[in-house]
A and B are shown apart, each in its own frame.
Chain A
Amino acid sequence: MAKRHLVILLLVLFVAAFLRFYNLGSIPAGLHGDAASQGYNAFSLLNSSKDRFGEPFPVLFRSLGSYQPPIYTYLTTIPVSIFGNTPMAARFISAFSGILLSLITFLFFRAFFPSKPGLALFGGALVAIAPWSVFFSRLAVEANLALVIFASSILLYWRSLKNPSLFITACLLLGLSTHAYYSERLLAVLFLPLYLLIFRKFWLHQKRWAILGLVIFILTQVPHFSMVTSGAYIRRFDQVSGSGMDNYLVYYSLPNLFFDSDSNLGRTMPGLSVFYGWMVVPLIFGIRELVLGKVTKEAGKILGLLLILTPIPAALTGDLFYPLRVLDFLWVLTLIIAIGLYSIYAYLKVNTAKIGLVVILALYSIFSLYISYFILFKYEKAENYGYAYVKLAEKLKGYKDKEVIIDSARDLGIGVRMAYLTRFDPRNIQEQLRPQMKTSYYNSSVNSDEVYILGNITVKPIRWGEVCRENVLFVGDQAALSDKEIKEHKLKFEFEIKDLSGKTALLGYKTQPEEKCK
């Protein structure tokens, strides 16, 4: 690789790292329940080799009425052991995956188009700044880790057409990706046979490697087979199932991909869509390059296959357009956008125009991202990520002499969030949670109404029968501690916690049994 390209690659990786790790602990402001679950399970594994329900080394992690795929949680033991129980530690693996994806995209293009090193840099850079990639890299989502593993396997499948022994590692990685996120479970079993079918002429001459690879892939699926009869998969399928052609086509909708903004967990940030609006132009050019066969025939086949397959798992769920479930598809689109952008870049004859194009697009994109994510998203969506509970964990250090009851009626993740942030002893939690499981650990029915007792703090739905007990502090949102309840139960105001937008998020009121129950 030329020195100039190496320097640009390092710059791209630096930008990717900066956009993913800058203030990672405080943006998103708070800690989502799913992230806290992964973080606390990692903490629990580190301290006891069991998850918070006391299950030794689970194949799936029982959590908040469902199951989380395991690899993310196991890998999170590393940042949790280094950085402690912080929001940043819970998100670390996802953020790191985002940087790796940028590098793998670079390597991917280097392998696909060795004569176009510039295209590889465009690919890496587009992943580094793509809104979807930055957004999901800064959340503790397994899908981002799964994407890196899946993308690595695709790179190796391509390389294996020149060096068949790599097929084994490709199959191993593809198999592993199925343990990282739900979408990959279906995607892997769709991709592998179709890949072999497309390149059958090659693999019929390399039967030994092909069979070995398939055996490795099947071996990686053994843990899934062991789960099939448990009902744990049925649980997840029940939660998300529902499909239709509309659910598939919605992922190809230009407004959804380039213009509409939203800020739910599964989508993206205020004022910015999954991609920047300008990217629609290079996408069209990229498709043109693919259709005209300007990329190699084999590369076109793999990209075409991925373009058709990757939205299928999400299309089988009931949600219309849920980017979290199609990160693989968004990555493939980013590759096509990179091809298109590079063709526009190559079309320009004057160097000043080339540099101008790159600089203007990069600056505009990073500026838009900063405004939408690092400002608007931070303030406007703090309540969705439990910012107030992070503040509450600090505040309650001054209430050790009181019995604190935190209402959990509307947010399943409060208990595990408080346990993670207060570094509460996992063995104690295991003793509490194991008896509260209403079914076996792996089951199609999973209750999510666990009560957490963290020393003087209890996380459970508020019961007003307890107002006649002395020295009790109730904490909840305005729905739990409404004006009517406060008056009726003669509660005394103790504190208020606002979210970043200035709205009241949590209230603390203490009991006055001498007034209420005399």
Chain B
Amino acid sequence: MKRKFLIILGVSLGNFWVYQLFANNILMGLLLTSESILLFLTALPERSKKIQVAVFIILTGLSLYLLAISFNKEIFYISDYEKIVQKNRGEYFGAELGKIYGNKAGIFYFDKFRPVVSKISGNFASNLDFEKYFLSKNPEEGRYPVFLLPLFILGLVRLIIVYQKTSVIYFLLALIVSSLVSISGKMGPMLLFPFFNLCIALGALNIWRKWQKDI
């Protein structure tokens, strides 16, 4: 257990991201580092219900805080360029779809609902760009050293195989909240920080076990 704890602690503190988080907000840094350790503990066979509850209490608190202070208003804002595109598209839809477009429900779907969903899914996608976390040449975005990428992939595959419910639910909730908030610069989608640490730590643990078996 001690070794496992050291692995997750090492991963949580051995990256560029955590220092950006601490530099910006010490409390946030502490909470996310603690969340990384707790999430890792939920993925171990000797997990307890209390830890799972603690993970989701911290996640809920952080999510509410982020949604309150950094909700992405761009999602509902339509720029002048977007207005032009939308107007043109309205004409195309009108010409091709006739009454399917030209009624209240159609106009709401195509002019209001679809653009909002498109923006949210764009944010969702950019958070899913795993390369950005490891391979980015932009110093604003680089969060983990590149040599941790194989460990991350290994850990991710491990999670997919064993299907660890708490981690998957955590990842999905963190991803959804991150798609709705706008955090500029180095902080990035910080709710995903514990999940990334978890995958890297699982990958490292896997290799550690294999190495121990070999010797």
In whole angstroms, what is the CA distance A379 to B160 when docked?
42
Q: Does B22 contact A (CB under 8 A)?
A: no
Of A249, A284, A374, which is within 8 A of B131 by CB? A249
Complex contacts, B130 vs chain A, CB 8 Å: 253-254
Complex contacts, B135 vs chain A, CB 8 Å: 246, 249
Of B89, B125, B157, which is within 8 A of A258 by CB? B125
Interchain CB contact under 8 A, A288 and B128: no
Interchain CB contact under 8 A, A254 and B125: yes
Interface of A is mostly: helix
Complex contacts, A253 vs chain B, CB 8 Å: 129-131
In whole angstroms, what is the CA distance A376 to B93 when docked?
8
Interface-located stretch among B49-57, B116-124, B188-196, B197-205:
B116-124
Instruction: List chain B positions with a Cβ less than 8 A from chain A.
Output: 88-89, 91-93, 96-97, 118, 121-122, 124-126, 128-131, 135, 157, 160-161, 163
> What 20 additional pairs, Cβ within 8 angstroms, besides A254-B125, A255-B128?
A246-B131, A249-B131, A253-B129, A254-B128, A254-B129, A254-B130, A255-B125, A258-B125, A287-B157, A288-B161, A291-B157, A291-B161, A292-B161, A375-B97, A376-B92, A379-B88, A379-B92, A380-B92, A501-B88, A502-B88
Interchain CB contact under 8 A, B122 and A376: no
For B97, B118, B131, B135, the residue with the greatest tally of chain A CB atoms inside 10 Å of its CB is B131
- Minimum C-beta distance from A200 to chain B (A): 26
Complex contacts, B129 vs chain A, CB 8 Å: 253-255
Of B91, B125, B160, which is within 8 A of A291 by CB? B160
Instruction: List chain A positions with a Cβ less than 8 A from chain B.
Output: 246, 249-250, 253-255, 258-260, 271, 277, 284, 287-288, 291-292, 371, 374-376, 378-380, 501-502
Interface of B is mostly: helix
In whole angstroms, what is the CA distance A254 to B132 when docked?
11
Instruction: With A249-B135, A254-B129, A288-B161 as known contacts, state yes or no: A259 contacts B124, CB within 8 Å.
Output: yes
- Minimum C-beta distance from B41 to chain A (A): 24
Interchain CB contact under 8 A, A277 and B121: yes
Complex contacts, A380 vs chain B, CB 8 Å: 88, 92
Complex contacts, A249 vs chain B, CB 8 Å: 131, 135
In whole angstroms, what is the CA distance A284 to B175 when docked?
16
Instruction: With A255-B125, A375-B97, A501-B88 as known contacts, state yes or no: A284 contacts B160, CB within 8 Å.
Output: yes
Complex contacts, B118 vs chain A, CB 8 Å: 271
The list of the 4 closest CB pairs from A to B, nearest first, reads: A259-B125, A255-B125, A379-B92, A254-B128
Complex contacts, A259 vs chain B, CB 8 Å: 121-122, 124-125, 128
Q: List 9 A-B contacts (CB under 8 A).
A: A246-B131, A249-B135, A253-B130, A277-B121, A284-B160, A288-B163, A291-B157, A291-B161, A379-B88
In whole angstroms, what is the CA distance A380 to B84 when docked?
13
Interchain CB contact under 8 A, B126 and A255: yes
- Minimum C-beta distance from B154 to chain A (A): 11
In whole angstroms, what is the CA distance A267 to B157 when docked?
29
Complex contacts, A287 vs chain B, CB 8 Å: 157, 160
Of B92, B126, B131, B160, which is within 8 A of A288 by CB? B160
In whole angstroms, what is the CA distance A172 to B163 when docked?
43
- Minimum C-beta distance from B179 to chain A (A): 11
In whole angstroms, what is the CA distance A246 to B89 when docked?
35
